[in-house]
Amino acid sequence: MTAPYILYGSPLSPFQRKAEAVLALKGLDYDCEAINIMAMPEWYLAISPLARIPALRDTSIAAEGPDGTIADSSAICGFLEKKCPAPAAYPEDPYLHGRALWLEEYADSAMAMAGGGGVFRPIIFAAMTGKEPDLDTARQTWNEKLPPLWDYLEAQLDGGTYFLGDTLSIADIAIAAQLMQTDLIVTPFDAAKWPALTAFLEAMNAHEIFQRNLAACQKMLAKMVPEKFDLNA
């Protein structure tokens, strides 16, 4: 039997990881359907005209075609929050809600560009096409572009467990999803320099809402990354 939701994409996408974590937080059952991002099929481009993964299908609306689908992880998470408000992924308080959206955007833009584009892609896309990993680019990004982003996050955490108050929110989910993109393939950043962020990542890695996605990623990466890369200069 088909699950009520279908997520089109790949578990290796940090944006899919964010959407999966929100589905899991809300206890929603979903199937994953793989999309090859190197050659997206026409039917998928009709759903996601910007040629991005993930996209979500609500099968109660339509079982095929663009109807019943939503592209973009932020749109997916906003939709899920409206449809299934509890447990909440977004703070109720207007200011905290705005802060959560800002931190989600920070993760989806700056962190994704550096961690995904500057570390994961040069290593894993090369491996996927049988090439040597571009460790020079990955090392430069890891040591020059990512530390200022981690500094900002360390200050935002201010020694706390979550980014906003004492409750998990979309801010934590989005930031963890991007931190995991490098953590899956690279040895940890310096815990002495970023202690709160290290503790945060460890807690998120152990959190139940990420387990299905992380298990799928580890399975897919096992052959390509038998041992994590040490990029620390």
> Does 104 participate in binding ligand GSH (rule CB under 6 A)?
no
> Does 73 participate in binding ligand GSH (rule CB under 6 A)?
yes
Stretch in the footprint of ligand GSH (CB under 6 A) among 49-57, 132-140, 156-164, 219-227: 49-57
> Does 88 participate in binding ligand GSH (rule CB under 6 A)?
no
Q: Please state, in angstroms and rounded to a whole number, the distance separating the CA atoms of residues 117 and 141.
A: 9
> Does 184 participate in binding ligand GSH (rule CB under 6 A)?
no
CB nearer to ligand GSH: give 10 or 198: 10
Stretch in the footprint of ligand GSH (CB under 6 A) among 50-58, 93-101, 172-180, 211-219: 50-58
What number of chain residues touch ligand GSH (CB under 6 A)? Answer: 13
Work out which of 5, 7, 8, 15 binds ligand GSH, going by CB under 6 A. Answer: 15
> Does 74 participate in binding ligand GSH (rule CB under 6 A)?
yes
> Does 140 participate in binding ligand GSH (rule CB under 6 A)?
no
- Report in angstroms how near the CB of residue 233 gets to ligand GSH at its nearest: 26
Q: Which residues of the chain form contacts with ligand GSH (CB under 6 A)? A: 13-15, 37, 51-54, 72-74, 108, 116
